[in-house]
Structure formats: structure tokens, C-alpha cells
Amino acid sequence: MENNETKNDSITLSKNTLYLGVIAVLAVLLVVSVFTGGFGFGSSNPAPTGNVVANNPAPTPTPLPSDNAAPVNAQALIDDDAVKGDKNAPVTIVEFSDYECPFCARFYSDTLSQIDAEYIKTGKVKLIVRDFPLSFHQQAQKAAEAAECAGEQGKYFEMHDKLFESGVAGGVTSFKQYAKDIGLNSGKFDDCLDTGKMASEIQKDFNDGQNAGIQGTPGFIVNGQMISGAQPFSAFKQVIDAELAK
């Protein structure tokens, strides 16, 4: 007997073909989710339990807000966090970050160095990093605390860089070794980390981020304008140059 798929002019799906089609659709959706540029969550709970892709569905980054979008009060987001760059720089980038987020690591490795060279080191931009650890990242909370504990000894960005470059897989044990590597007082650092001294600071950062409209990591407020996800340098340059031209 001839198979209907070869006998008829119309397209008839066999069970195997249908299964392959479903698998192909799922694969496409997975690829799209990976390359949308950020992690987020679908709940207002400060300790989210699920993750969704951050809100960047467009293939071309479009970081600039619409004309009707109200700017975020960037000044209100400047806490007592460490500042990278000239404190009097005309443009402020407030980054909400998670040390276990691969998109945050992508921003660090691919984009931050370019922003640093062109804008931070030239006194045009200052960077403030605030903590936004997502609960489905098991090491993110303690990694954030480790950075803040290092900041207590004046080496926030040294620990920030170490966490992204060496990773967080080892948890607290690794963080204590990182503290030694960057020359911190180990006793003070270990006590700070073990007691959760900085937990309330992390929670404040998280709450401030939510109130500002941050829905995933990394999230940025650039002089009041929001940029979501690990966007390329060109996206930041567009916003920064516009601010500098004002």
C-alpha cells in the first residue's frame, strides 16, 4: 500500500513528522530565550522562585525609552555603594546585577571594559553597582554579600571583578579565598560574610531596583533612562552620548 504522504498532493503529517516539528519549535524557542539578553522573574516577591527571560524580544536592541516614558529618578538610586569613576561625572550608570547571572557576566566581559575606557576613565561616566540576586541562583546572595564585605575594606570593585572572572561555583569557600587573593583582612571579611552583616544592604538594593522598575538582570539606569539586558556597547554609547550632548 502506498503511503499517503507520497500519494497525495496535499501535505499530510505522519506521527514521526509531527513529533519532529514539535521538537523543532521547542528548540527555536529555547534559542530565542537564551539570546534575549537577561534574566528576570515574574513575581513581585523579593525572593523570586521562578525565572523568565528578561524583556528584550526585539532582535535589534532598543534601549531608549519612548517619548512618553517617565525617567527614573537616578539620584534617588545612589546609595552608599562604591563608585567607579569620577564622583562628579555628568553621566551616572546604576547597574543592578547578579554575580551568578550569565548575562551579567557577558556585560562585564564584553561591554564594561569599553565603557570604562571611553567614558569612565575620561571622567564622563561613573558606575554604581547595586545588588539584585535572584533566588534561583544559589550562590548569588552570598556573592553579593562578599562584594559588599570587600567594599567595607575599600575593595568593592576588586571583589566585583574577581567574582565575575573566577566564578561563584565554590560558594562561601571560594569567596573567602578571593578575599585573600585581593589582599583583604581575612578575619574581618570572614566575620562579615559568616554573620550576614550585609544581608540588609542587599535587600535594600533589591527593593530599590524593583521600585525603579528593574525586572531582570542585568538592568541599568543611565541618567534616568532604563536599559535592560546585556546590550552591546553601541546601545550604551547611544544613550551616554545623548546625555553628554545636553
pLDDT greater at residue 50 or residue 192 = 192
Lowest mean pLDDT, pick from 1-10, 75-84, 121-130? 1-10
* Mean pLDDT, range 32-39, rounded to an integer: 47
Residues 6+ apart with CB under 8 A from 80: none
Task: Report the SS3 class of residue 216.
Answer: strand
Q: What is the pTM of this model?
A: 0.73
Residue at grid coordinates 530565550? 33
Annotate 70-90 with b (16+ C-beta within 10 A) or e (fewer): eebebeebbeebbbbbeeebe
The CATH code belonging to domain 12-244 is: 3.40.30.10
Residue 103 C-alpha from the chain's centroid: 6
> Is the model's pLDDT at 226 over the cut of 70?
yes
Position 43 scores a pLDDT of 34
Burial 21-33 (b: 16+ CB within 10 A, else e): eeeeeeeeeeeee
* Domains in the chain: boundaries: 12-244
Mean pLDDT, to the nearest integer, of 103-126? Answer: 97
Max Cα distance, the chain (Å): 82
Q: Which residue has the cell 574577581?
A: 162
Interval 117-156: pLDDT, tens: 999 999 999 999 999 999 899 999 999 999 999 999 999 9
- Which element (helix H / strand E) includes 83? strand 83-84
Q: Radius of gyration of the chain from Cα atoms?
A: 22
Q: What is the mean pLDDT of residues 58-83?
A: 55
CA distance 200 to 218: 21
